Structure 1
Amino acid sequence: MEDTKKIDMRKKKILKVGQVFLVIIIFFTFTSKSIRNLTLPKVSTVDAKSGSLIIEIARDGIINAVKRIEHYIDFSATVKEVKVSVGDSVVTGDTILVLDKEPLERDLIKKEIALKRLKLQYDNAVAGNIEDILYTYEQKIKEAETELSKIEEEVKIKEQLYNEGAVAKRELDNAVSQLDLAKIKLENANNDLEKQLEKSDREKENREREMELMKLDISNAEIEIEELKKMIKNCTVIATNDGIIKEINFKEGMVANNSKPLYVLDSPDKGFEATVAVNNEESQYLETGDRVQVFLKSESSSSLNGEIKTIKDAENTDKKLITVGLEDQNLKGGEAVEVYIKKPIGSYKYLVPRQALRTDEQGKFVFILEERQGPLGKEYYVVRNGVTEGDSDNNNVGIFSGLMGSERIIVRSSKPISEGSLVTIE
């Protein structure tokens, strides 16, 4: 009886010990699993989904008038007075600057006096006609011919009287001598005329050239005078358009010239625009005519509708410049804005987050989570899954091939992971 009790007591002790041992094993099993899980990378996953990609672009910019007027002058003058300030609204004809015109007016008086002198010289040259000189020589020939004819008649009379014995031979010889002198005089007059004709031809050519040069000098002087008058008129610098003054580049006392515009004016005539830079990847989805929103960074925080007008290369960068036309006539230019573009760029059967797509020497891939049964229960392993990517937007990437749709795609990991890594789920 006592032996039986002792045996029962021993069995109970063994059973208790076994139960305690089992509890200890279970405790250490779960404890070891928990400790191991604490050391494993934690990952978060998403399911691949179908949908549309939407590109979203937000860039800061400044509104400018499409029509910007830069007013230059083509002469130098001292600024006498500045009538407006940057930011002022002006209308066509308003005075912007007044330049000192006195030096130009003095120069004009000198030029006008010089022009009168040139015209007088030209008139004198015209008055000194070569034909008048030739006329003098022709008159001398006529006088010599008349004198010769008269002496020839006298010689005939003397010869008749000598034959009749009415005059002495000496008187006839004198008459013949006078006739010879008259012939020589006529011959000399003709020779002088021929020489003068040759000389006159040369002088005429020279005189014509000199007169042409005088005409050119007169024309040039007249042009200079007209230019001076225009400069004097332009010393009162006026607004050539309605608009807002954006720059005044010369102050009172400074010498204004053509190195930079006197003033810059933004006119509302052709509306307003904002220009922002985007990267090449973003620009390939944009087209002229795309509608955009533009948010004013002012107290009102209002928004405007806009349209992409141009897309062109930015100088010295790999970016693109997007010019957005704005539909608001209440703008002035210079307002700070945020240009916001949102545009669908394609539909895909599978989309994955951008951070899930990875690259190695074999190409593009995603890590997917694979569940396996282990000695301590369910275990999760990392598997590399190659994919073919399509377009992407700010958040997702379209996948052409490589996914079946049931995969759990790893998007984040608390530690670096690779093919076959054992992980836990966040």
Structure 2
Amino acid sequence: MYELEDKERREQYQQSGRKDWIKNIAIIFLSIMLVLTFFSNTIMNYSLPQVATQYVQQGDISPKVRGSGVAEVEDPYSVKVPNARIIEAVNVQVGDEVKKDDVIFELQDQESDELKQARQDYADAKSSFQKALFSGDLTNEAVERIRNGEYLTDDEMQERLDAANSNYNEALEEDMEAGLEVERLGGGSDTSGMGSTQAAEVAARDARKLAEAQAYKAETEAELTKATNRRDNTIKSIQAELEIKAIKKTMDDAEAKVEKLEKAEKGATVKAPVAGTITSVTYSPGDTTSSDTAGAVIQQEGKGMTVSFTCTKEQAQTLKVGEEAKPQNEWAYSEFTAKLVNIAPDPSDTAGSRILKFEIQSPEVEAGDNVQLSVGANSKTYDLTVPNSAVREDNNGKFILIVSSKESPLGNRYIATRVDVQVLDSDELLTAISGALSGYEYVITTATKPVSAGMQVRLSEDVQQ
């Protein structure tokens, strides 16, 4: 009997163990499936496009054109020091109002490099003048006349040259005729058929004529030599006088420059040539000036400053010359006016952008300051606005993608849903739209991967509102 009971107990125990074992296997299997499902969803989620979203909400559209540029002086007057001088004192600073003839710089009393060079140029020209005057190509009469400041006119020079050439041509013609006569007489007369007495008389006569012709030829040669020398000397004299006249002009100019620089350096100050506002000062005490550098720049009285920046062709079409502009940071200025004065194509951009030029008036703006302006129509409120990046377009028109939530056993799933819209207005930040929207939907603005309607997406951690 006891053996039968033990056997039943053993069978019950074995059946109970098999049930526990099956239950444990089932629990382990379900756990593994849950873990695999979790990791599968996690991996799938990380493979989904991550999107940034923002509410569709009421907002203001400000179709203004905004930009910034550097303030520049309109028609600036540059004050330059005409020679190298050392600055003794600077009597103005940026922003100062000056009147005409107000002293801007005081200069050290010293001879400038430009004055030293001018004196050297004058000395060189004077030396060249003296050398040319006594070169030996001029007659004493010409030297004395030039020393007295008297020069032949062009007509007088031409007259002298014509006379010398005419004298030379006459002497040459006479000498050539005399030579031909000597050549003719040198052949003698034909005495054949004459008696000895008659032949002797003819020969004596021919010899006498030849001697006379040869003597005359010697005279014409001498006259030709004199005429040649007179012509050559006349040419040399005229050339020398022309050269001396040019050297004298150079010498006089150099002397006048010396006198001008000496007079300019006696005052040792640089004055404002016009009234206005100092917009820049280049030099400090101790600096050496340069004739190529503006020591100061004056914004002339009655003339303002300008600011320019570029915009798109479409933006420019909404503007008109004469429109008032405002600073983007109005709080920074107590007095400020700006007006659009010009719209012009940007030569550096083939895409057709435009350059907007504004004239500004403000005591708080100096040349070189960066000025931020906005110009255009006033803002308008719309019920539905989205960031510009949220508006998409395909062959069917413009649309946005909103995020729809669907529940699942493992959590919410987010699906991109298309909503067709019409664009009502826009500015550089927002677009006003109309469509099948109630407001406050989450609209997709950016994504890590391309997104299309119906795709499951993953929300970024920072959801914009």
Q: Structure 2 length normalisation: TM-score?
A: 0.51
CA contact (8 A) 1:305 1:327 kept: yes
**Which of residues 363, 374, 378 in structure 2 aligns to 1:340?**
374
CA contact (8 A) 1:382 1:419 kept: yes
Amino acid at match of 1:365: F
CA contact (8 A) 1:59 1:276 kept: yes
CA distance in 2, matches of 1:201, 1:110: 38
Query: Could you list the per-position Cα deviations for residues 326-380 of structure 1 after superposition, in whole angstroms to 9, with x for gaps in the alignment?
Result: 356x5663466542324269x99997433573337767422369999xxxxxxx9
**Which of residues 65, 68, 88 in structure 1 aligns to 2:73?**
65
CA contact (8 A) 1:68 1:267 kept: yes
CA distance in 2, matches of 1:191, 1:47: 119
Q: Pick closer, same or farther for the CA change 1:227–1:365 going to 2, 3 Å.
A: farther
Match of 1:82 in 2: 89
> Which stretches in structure 1 are left out of the alignment for 5+ residues?
1-38, 135-180, 373-379
Deviation of 1:197 after TM superposition, in Å, equals: 0.9
CA distance in 2, matches of 1:251, 1:55: 47
CA distance in 2, matches of 1:42, 1:109: 78
CA contact (8 A) 1:47 1:408 kept: no
CA distance in 1, matches of 2:264, 2:348: 36
CA distance in 1, matches of 2:329, 2:393: 44
- The reply on whether 1:204 has 2:214 as its aligned counterpart is no
Query: Could you list the per-position Cα deviations for residues 361-403 of structure 1 after superposition, in whole angstroms to 9, with x for gaps in the alignment?
Result: 767422369999xxxxxxx98642445657621454366xxx6
In the TM superposition, 1:21-420 aligns within 5 A as 46=56, 54-59=62-67, 63-72=71-80, 75=83, 77-87=84-94, 88-97=96-105, 98=107, 100-101=110-111, 103-105=113-115, 107-109=117-119, 111-112=121-122, 122=133, 125=138, 127-128=140-141, 191-233=221-263, 235=265, 236-276=269-309, 282-283=315-316, 285-294=318-327, 301-311=333-343, 313=346, 321-327=355-361, 333-334=366-367, 337-343=371-377, 352-355=385-388, 357-359=390-392, 364-367=398-401, 383-386=417-420, 392-397=426-431, 405-408=435-438, 410-412=441-443, 419-420=453-454
CA distance in 1, matches of 2:89, 2:245: 42
CA contact (8 A) 1:64 1:266 kept: no
Deviation of 1:196 after TM superposition, in Å, equals: 0.9
Match of 2:203 in 1: none
Deviates more, 1:275-284 or 1:255-264: 275-284
Amino acid at match of 1:82: A
Deviation of 1:240 after TM superposition, in Å, equals: 1.9
CA distance in 2, matches of 1:42, 1:106: 74
CA distance in 1, matches of 2:445, 2:234: 106
Amino acid at match of 2:222: D
Deviates more, 1:287-296 or 1:101-110: 101-110
Aligned residues: 321
CA distance in 2, matches of 1:395, 1:80: 53
The SS at the match of 1:353 is strand
Deviation of 1:213 after TM superposition, in Å, equals: 1.3
Q: Pick closer, same or farther for the CA change 1:106–1:339 going to 2, 3 Å.
A: closer
Query: Could you list the per-position Cα deviations for residues 258-289 of structure 1 after superposition, in whole angstroms to 9, with x for gaps in the alignment?
Result: 45322233323322333455567755544433
CA distance in 2, matches of 1:113, 1:383: 93
Root mean square deviation, CA, Å: 5.3
CA distance in 2, matches of 1:414, 1:348: 21
CA distance in 1, matches of 2:354, 2:65: 13
Match of 2:146 in 1: none
Deviates more, 1:96-105 or 1:316-325: 316-325
The SS at the match of 1:240 is coil
Question: Identity rate of aligned residues, in percent?
Answer: 14
